[in-house]
Amino acid sequence: MIISKHLLGLEGVQREEISIILKTAQSFKEVLSRPIPKVPTLRGKTIVNLFFEASTRTRISFELAEKRLSADSISFTTAGSSVAKGETLKDTVRNIEAMKIDMVVVRHQASGAAQFLSQCLDAGVINAGDGLHEHPTQGLLDMMTLLDKFGRLDGLKVAIVGDIAHSRVARSNIHGLMTMGAAVALCGPATLLPRDIPAAFGSDLRVFTKVDDALRWADAVNVLRLQLERQKHGLLPSLREYAMHFGITRRRLETCKRDVVIMHPGPINRGVELESELADGEYSVILDQVTNGVAVRMAVLYLKSGGEQEVMNGNGL
Ligand code: CP
């Protein structure tokens, strides 16, 4: 199939393309387990990582993915750059592109920043999280982790719990999982749910108002961080009250009498949305998500650079 050179979001991305990325990521995961976890696949390509917003997991895993693929890569953060002198996003990236680059990975606080850059540049643009819009490689690594755990996405029940209104991770998960045939439910306080969910995501999306009902229903729960830095005042009475009604705790899981896989994109507000002991416990696949992030980003960089597509066969896809 024809794969676009950009990855701006998972909304509208076809099932076949997601399957190809996930299958390719499995192959790269095998590469990462070798004594020398490196291939010459992107030798000669130059990739710039533009991080206008803080990141630990995404930035490091893109940088590692680029090194594992033998690309030349440069990382840019706003501190110490001419952005501090008032240079615009467009001028910044057009100057960087003039140095002959092939691909840009961008994280930005503004929703739509990746789309905007794709219209200004000849280079491929990979969205590493833009405002409240999407975080497509997080959605892909979450799907890879679910596939590793359950062997399928089709028919899997995934509940996304927490601050969904401010979450680009939620949006990418919803679009990606629904495209792959999973059943998706949202659960959170009404003030932290998106407005008009059927119009935004279709009528197949469930909503639970009580977290215990979501836990009883789900095979896996993706617990989201309360994004206090993006919230307006007054959306929550207090963190204590949020933790009491929506925090995922061992006691709550035991009451629901279910084994459930616990995911979290990080960083975690321990003791708020997720009990600390549970984050590190037997139900958690949080560090598996981080491990899969490198393989998924290798697959995205490789395929978006025109790499050969894996033949689809089995593996739950
Ligand atoms: N999951 C995620 O995007 O984490 P970072 O903000 O640390 O990149």
Task: List, for residues 291-308, the tens digit of each pLDDT value.
Answer: 999 999 999 999 999 988
Considering only CA atoms, give the Rg of the chain.
Answer: 19
15-133+290-304: in CATH 1.10.443.10: no
Q: What is the mean pLDDT of the chain?
A: 94
Which residue minimizes the CA distance to atom 4 of ligand 1? 57
Total length of the chain: 317
Task: List, for residues 228-280, the tens digit of each pLDDT value.
Answer: 776 666 778 788 999 999 999 999 999 887 789 999 999 999 999 999 999 99
pTM of structure: 0.95
305 Cα to the center of ligand 1, angstroms: 23
Residue in 58, 135, 223, 273 to alter for ligand 1 test, most ligand atoms within 8 A of Cβ: 58
284 Cα to the center of ligand 1, angstroms: 17
Domain ranges of the chain: 15-133+290-304, 136-284
219 Cα to the center of ligand 1, angstroms: 24
State which ligand 1 atom lies nearest to the alpha carbon of 293.
1
Say how far apart CA 286 and CA 250 lie, in whole Å. 16
54 Cα to the center of ligand 1, angstroms: 8
Say how far apart CA 279 and CA 249 lie, in whole Å. 9
Would the CATH topology of 15-133+290-304 be identical to that of 136-284? yes
314 Cα to the center of ligand 1, angstroms: 30
- Could you tell me what percent of the chain has a pLDDT over 90? 84
Query: What's the mean pLDDT in 27-45?
Result: 96
Q: 136-284 belongs to which CATH class?
A: alpha beta
